[in-house]
Amino acid sequence: MFSNKRKIIFLISVVSLLFLLIFSQVSSQELKVVDGDTIHLNGEKIRFTGIDAPELKQTCTMDGVKVLCGVIAKQILINKIGYNKVDCISEGKDRYKRILAECFVNKESLSSYLVRSGYAFAFRKYSNKFIKDENYAKTKLVGMWNMSFNYPWYYRKSKQK
């Protein structure tokens, strides 16, 4: 009788340990938000496709005051992700060897969220996917649409000179 109890306790312990190992592997992620359209996820650098967010050092002007719109875009992304799991659908790699992907939190596109919030733009050069989101933000004057700004692609070009 004592032998059977030990076997049951051992079996429960093994099953519990396996459950904990499997659960922790599925739910844990190594995540770092780099800027408004780039993250590091489990050691991979991921650039969101179809959008372009302001650079970290990029400023906008609101009511005559300079605002770090690139830093705000990054913080909005950090807040949206919170402690949630990020899932990405890869669409290939770019010339900088970053993974190009659309990423989601709770099945909501982070790209769509950023563009609708007014802190990223539909990157029409590469995609038409987020134009409706941009039109929404522009019409509602949210985020950068309520400020004076340069599009990120023009800002980068001006810094190359």
Chain segment 127-148, per-residue pLDDT in tens = 999 999 999 999 999 999 999 9
> What pLDDT, in 10s, does the model give residues 85-99?
999 999 999 998 999
The residue ranges of every structural domain in the chain are 29-147
Q: Is the pLDDT of residue 114 over 70?
A: yes
Domain 29-147 has CATH 2.40.50.90: yes
More confident residue, 5 or 35: 35
Q: Tell me the sheet residues that pair with 129.
A: none
Single pTM value for the model: 0.81
Of residues 58 and 23, more confidently modeled: 58
Token pair of 80, please?
A: 């949206």
What mean pLDDT comes out for the span 142-156? 96
